[in-house]
Amino acid sequence: MMHASRLSGDRAGADPACDPGRDARARIVELADQCVKCGLCLPVCPTYRVGRNEAESPRGRIAFAQALATGQIAASPTVEQHLDQCLACMSCERVCPSQVRYGELIVATRGLLRATSTKPLRLAFWLRHPRLLRAALHFANLPGLRNCIQSSIVQAALRPLRLDRLVRELPRLPRVIARARATTAVSRGRVGLFLGCIAAAADRDVHAAAVRLLATLGYETVLPRGQACCGALAVHAGDLESADALGTPTRQAFIDAGVDTVLVSASGCFGTLRDRTFAGTKIRVREIHEFLDGDTRIGELKFRPLAQRAAVHTPCTQANIAHADAAIQRLLARIPQMEIVALPTEPQCCGAAGDYFLRHADIADALRTEKLDQTAALTPDLLVTSNVGCRIFLDNGLRQRGVALPVIHPIALLAQQLEN
Ligand code: SF4
Ligand code: SF4
C-alpha cells in the first residue's frame, strides 16, 4: 500500500498553494474525499499515540482540512494548532488502504492557512544564510562556550526570551578525523553531494565519510560552493514560495557543476530535493545508501570487524519517503561481527521533525523519551540513525540523561570501519 509521498508539493503536478483560493480548496476537498475514515492510520500516528485525541490523528486532520476548504468551519487557533502539530512523518500515508495523499493535503492546507496567518517561518533567516548559520553553530560549539550557555544560570536567563530550548538543543558538531584518502583512480564518473544547511556543519563527518567511500569505489565527489538549503522546512509550513526561493541556489549550483546525479545523506531533505528542488531538471536525486547498496562494485569495499551492538533508529523520512531503510540494513550487515538491532515500533518519529522540536516541545520530548527508553533497553554500544535532525535530537536527549552513547550516521560508521 505504499506510494510516493507528495509532502514536497511536487512541482511537476498541480501546485495548490500557489493560489490559496478556489483551486487549492477544490484540491483539498478532492484529496480529503479519498479518506474512507477507516481509522487504520491512527495506531501509527505519533501525535495520536501521545494524546489519544482524534483531533491529533490523520483522520481528524483530514476532517479539519475538508471543513476548512468547504467553509464549514473558519480558521481558529485551535484548528491551526491541530494541523500544525502534525509531524509530517507520513506514517499515515504508508498504511492508508485508500492511498490518501496526506502529504499533499497537509501542505496545501497549511498553505491555505498561511494566507490568513501572519506567523513567520521562524528559521527562515538562518536558512537563507547558511554560511552565517554554520558560523554561528561553530561559535556556539567553541570549547567552554557551549557549557557556559547551556548552564542552568544562563538557561534561566534565556527562558523569558524563549531561547532556552534552542540553546539546550544546539547541535554538537562532530570532529572530522583526517584519514588517508582512497587511492582508487577516478573511473566511475562524477557525482554531486548535497550538504544541506544545518547538516553542512552537523554532518560534516558524514560528508567526509561519503567522499571517502565514493572515492574508494572510483567516483569523484563534487561539492558545489553555492549550494544551500533544500527548502523542506518551508514546504512543511505550506510556504512553497519560500521553499522555491531557498532551493533555487542549490539547484543552480549543481547545474553549474555539470553533474547528473546528486546524492543525499539526510533523509529529511531527500523528498524535497527529489520532488521539488530538482524537479524538471536532468539531475537525478539519489539517496546515498540506496546508491551505494546498488553499486556493482560495493563488494570491493572491505570493512574491519566491529564486535559491538548497534541499535538502529529508522527515521520516518527514511522509511516513508526515501525508502532506503533496507539498503541501510544491507550496508551495515557488511561490517563483520557487528550486531544490528532495530529499535522496536519502527518506523516511528523521534520528535525532531525539522524545527518541530522547537515549536512543540511537549510532543517532541514525549516521542524522544520513548525512543531513548527503547534504546536503553537494548543496551547498545552505539545508536545509528540516517537523518541529521534525528541524530542531533537523540544525541542531545542522551546527553541530557547523562548517557555517553555515540550516535552515528551509517555512512560515517561504514567509513570508520573501511579497510581499503
Ligand atoms: S487510513 Fe486512510 S482512509 Fe483510513 S482514516 Fe486514515 S487516511 Fe482515511
Ligand atoms: S503525518 Fe505523521 S503526525 Fe501527521 S497525521 Fe500522519 S502519521 Fe500523524
For the chain, which residues make up each domain, given as ranges?
16-114, 124-168, 190-293, 303-416
Q: Is there an atom of ligand 1 within 6 Å of 378 CB?
A: no
Nearest CA to ligand 2 atom 5: 58
Q: What is the pLDDT of residues 134-152, one digit of tens each?
A: 889 999 999 889 889 888 8
Question: Which grid cell sits at 111?
Answer: 498553505
Domains 190-293 and 303-416 share a fold: yes
pLDDT band at 119 (very low <50, low <70, confident <90, very high): low
**Higher-scoring residue by pLDDT: 30, 9:** 30
Q: In what order do the strands lie in the sheet with 339-342?
A: 339-342, 309-313, 382-385, 407-408
The pLDDT value given to residue 10: 58
pTM score above 0.85? yes
| 207 touches 223 (CB < 8 A) | yes
Torsion of CA 163, 164, 165, 168, to 10 degrees: 120
In the chain, % of residues over pLDDT 90 = 74
**What cell was used for 278?**
530538482
Q: Which CATH architecture has domain 303-416?
A: 3-Layer(aba) Sandwich (3.40)
Calculate the alpha carbon distances from 203 to 14, 47, 278, 330 in Å.
Answer: 34, 28, 22, 22
**Which CATH fold topology does 16-114 show?**
Fumarate Reductase Iron-sulfur Protein; Chain B, domain 2 (1.10.1060)
How far apart are the C-alpha atoms of 279 and 91, rounded to whole Å?
A: 24
Q: Is 58 in the pocket of ligand 1 (CB under 6 A)?
A: yes
Side-by-side strand order, sheet with 190-194 = 220-222, 190-194, 261-264, 284-287
Give the number of the atom of ligand 1 that is nearest the alpha carbon of residue 42.
6
Distance, CA of 198 to CA of 204 (rounded, Å): 10
3-state helix, strand, coil in the chain (%, to 5): 50, 10, 40
User: Would you call 268 exposed, middle or buried from its count of C-beta atoms within 10 A (0-12, 13-18, 19+)?
Assistant: buried
Class of domain 190-293 (CATH, top level): alpha beta
Do residues 290 and 325 lie in contact, with contact meaning Cβ atoms separated by under 8 Å? no
Q: For residue 48, is pLDDT > 90?
A: yes
Number of Cβ within 10 Å of residue 339's Cβ equals: 13
Residue pLDDT, tens place only, 55-89? 999 999 999 999 999 999 999 999 999 999 999 99
CA distances from 410 to 68, 324, 337, 384 (A): 42, 12, 16, 6
Minimal-distance CA residue to ligand 1 atom 4:
38
CA distance 69 to 71: 6
Listed residue (371, 372, 382, 415) closest to 309, CA to CA: 382
Is residue 92 in contact with ligand 1, taking CB distance under 6 Å? yes
- 352 alpha carbon to ligand 2 midpoint, in Å? 13
Q: Under a CB-based contact definition with an 8 Å cutoff, are residues 281 and 255 in contact?
A: yes
* Residue 251: pLDDT over 50: yes
Closest protein CA for atom 2 of ligand 1: 96
CB of 41 sitting under 6 A from ligand 1:
yes
Average pLDDT, integer, range 266-273: 96
